[in-house]
A and B are shown apart, each in its own frame.
Chain A
Amino acid sequence: MKLNATVLYLGQDKDFFFNLSTFCLDIKTKALQIPTCKRGELSLTCLNHPLRMIFIDYTNPEVDLDAIQEEVIFLKRIPRFQSILFIALFSKSEEKVLNQSIFISGFQFSFMKGCDESLLFKDCFGIVTGKDMHHSVFAKAENILKNYEVGICSSLTSISMNDFIIESDFKFADSLLPISLPIFPDLQRKYFSISRSCSSSLAYPMPNSYVLELPISSGWDSDSLDVIQADTISTWLDHNSEENFKKGHFINVLSKNMALLPELFSIHKDSLFNINFNENLSDDEMLSLLSLSKPKLIFIDLETEGNNNLEFVSKIITSIKTIDNFDPVIIIANSLSTGNALQKVLSYPLILVTKTFLDTPFILSLIRSFEVRKLKKEMTSQSHFFSGNDPRRSVEVKCEIRISSLTEHEIVFLSQTKLPPLAILHFHLPLDFNATIVSERPENAHSESFYYIAIIHGMTEDKLEILRKFVNKIISNPLKEFSQTHIQEVLNSLEVNFSVKTDVPLSIKKNSNLDQ
């Protein structure tokens, strides 16, 4: 079997790269190493090589974790790079530093160095090729058939006085989203109303964005744990006010010139703006993006024959006019007509035109001018944007599943809700672990439920041993319920010094449809 693409290792671990190269050689795949990574170098490498898999070694002391994570976020939002599998390699030293936010920043797999590398390679190649790469047999606890509420890793992107924005792989059809909001621990509400949903990401590499209403107390219900006081929100925003203006504003760049990427990322990193880069967008995607992100500046490399033509610009402007308090400056590059002409034909005064194609010095000069003149005047504490590595960004959309089987390597479960491929799920039982969905099949020809296989990853050897023992134990002594009490009993019997998390809400719903 051959993977018609290149695998990249970003790190300095010679042994790891040797093992990776050897594995790649066996399957006739090219492996590439970059020992250190300057800003923009990852983007450049992605442009120059047909990369399908990127291992980023966080144990490398020269790796700037924040910068790399930002660049991965930047790249994974661009459609042509969305199929690249990003894997984070770390050790115990980085375990606490690498928070859950990496799984909502474009990483879809993780690995604790020191564990079985060949299994890692087989799992990753299996994910990208769709083939079952390994034949290891793990002890399996089968026929568990117990309900469980799993968390789908999602991003809390921003919060304002009345609402907050979530980005997720999960496409949710209902009007209420089951989610926990840890930044307000006293708010016990489990379901939040969706006021708007968009099939495009706002700032992070997830295809769905939801604007959710904050349940503000009306006064008479101030004792309820299902609502939040307006004062609480405004105090929180004031407390975080210094960070509020950073990255809370957006710029769109629409161009097919991928060579802009490395420098554009650099601008994105240093700027107060969040820069969204797209090669092209459908009309629906553009409208969604405009209404959600309300970019201050929109750069468009005009095409005569492609999608980014004057008709498309005309549609953008029509959409802009439907959105309240939204007046972006539109910069049209590669235009044969003058700014005056386009302002009149498009009936929009805030148009700037250049005859040449977009280049980064031009983009940078306009951004800088805008920052100096406009942006700093708009610093408010009315909303907060969560930056890429902010651990508070990590939230979980809840989903009820029925666990079918469990090994130390994978978990198989049934779900009535269709789940996205490669979504990262967060389990809290019997200990915290993440699992990536790698396979889906319908339960049967007549059912609307699906069986999923999710590979467990990123575990230390110690935790793997606990999980292994747990699985072996429940093979011979099946659990009556996946409850905190029952699991703690099993762990106690294993003489393992480990406690099930007490702050995790368990949801064992009787008479659930999954029981049928």
Chain B
Amino acid sequence: MTKGNLLIVDDETILVKRLKMDLEDLADHIFTAHDGVEALKILNEEKIHCVVCDINMPNMNGVEVLKNLRSHHNDIPFIFFTGHGSHELMLEAAKYGAFDFLDKPFFEGLEDVITRGLKLGFNPLDDSTATEDELMSEYQKLLKNLEK
């Protein structure tokens, strides 16, 4: 079954290599980039279904990559790696459409988030039909949490 293509963007080379290895079963093909400029080039040339990107990078940060993507009407899911002190950037990213944020260095739930991101990026039309049921289900979970 086709899973879609993933792009990993981070200026930490070792991290990118590690993630590529760890996540190779989740996607059909994993592209990597070490800065925003390189990421945009890949996004322009390849069919990418989901992006995992460090929010804080030199020269062009993850939010700027996202803004650029959205300005070209590309709505693919964008997952950010965040660290200490990136709240302002997170808020900015959320304005342009963030799929999720994962804290470095533990990346809790990374595989699950990427699987969902790829699924959405590959089948965007599914999003609107599944939303109502998922929304109510999510709502019921929130209400249940309130009772605790």
Contacts and interface: CB of A to CB of B under 8 A. Distances in A.
A344 B138 contact: no
B101 interface: yes
B99 A338 contact: yes
A352 B100 contact: no
Given A304-B95, A342-B94, A369-B140, A352 B146 contact: no
A365 B93 CA distance: 30
Nearest to A366: B139
Contacts of A354: 131, 135
Contacts of A416: none
A327 interface: yes
A339 B143 contact: no
Contacts of A340: 99-101, 113
Interface residues of A, number: 27
Interface string B60-73: 00000000001000
A314 B88 CA distance: 11
A329 interface: yes
A96 interface: no
Interface string A477-502: 00000000000000000000000000
Nearest to B99: A338
B90 A345 contact: yes
A344 B90 contact: yes
A369 B101 CA distance: 29
B139 to A, nearest CB: 5
Contact of A374 (B95, B96, B98, B143): B143
A341 B91 contact: no
A188 interface: no
Contacts of B100: 338, 340-341, 344
Contacts of A373: 140, 143
A216 interface: no
B95 A370 contact: no
A311 B92 CA distance: 9
Given A310-B94, A342-B94, A345-B101, A352 B140 contact: no
A336 interface: yes
A341 B98 contact: yes
B45 interface: no
A314 B91 contact: yes
A311 B91 contact: yes
A424 B100 CA distance: 54
Interface string B67-97: 0001000000000000000010011011111
Nearest to B95: A310
A329 B146 contact: yes
Contact of B143 (A329, A338, A349): A329
B136 interface: yes
B22 interface: no
A355 interface: yes
Interface centre among A327, A341, A366 (most CB of B within 10 A): A341
B145 interface: yes
B142 interface: yes
B138 A336 contact: no
Interface centre among B70, B90, B94 (most CB of A within 10 A): B94
Contacts of A314: 91
A354 B128 CA distance: 10
Nearest to B92: A310
Contacts of B87: 345
Nearest to B102: A344
A337 interface: yes
- The 3 lowest CB-CB distance pairs between A and B, nearest first, are A336-B97, A341-B98, A345-B90
Interface of A: 304, 309-311, 314, 327, 329, 336-342, 344-345, 349-350, 352, 354-355, 365-366, 369-370, 373-374
Given A344-B90, A345-B91, A354-B131, 12 more contacts: A309-B95, A310-B91, A337-B99, A338-B99, A342-B94, A344-B100, A344-B101, A349-B142, A352-B135, A369-B136, A373-B143, A374-B147
Interface of B: 70, 87, 90-91, 93-101, 113, 127-128, 131, 135-136, 138-140, 142-143, 145-147
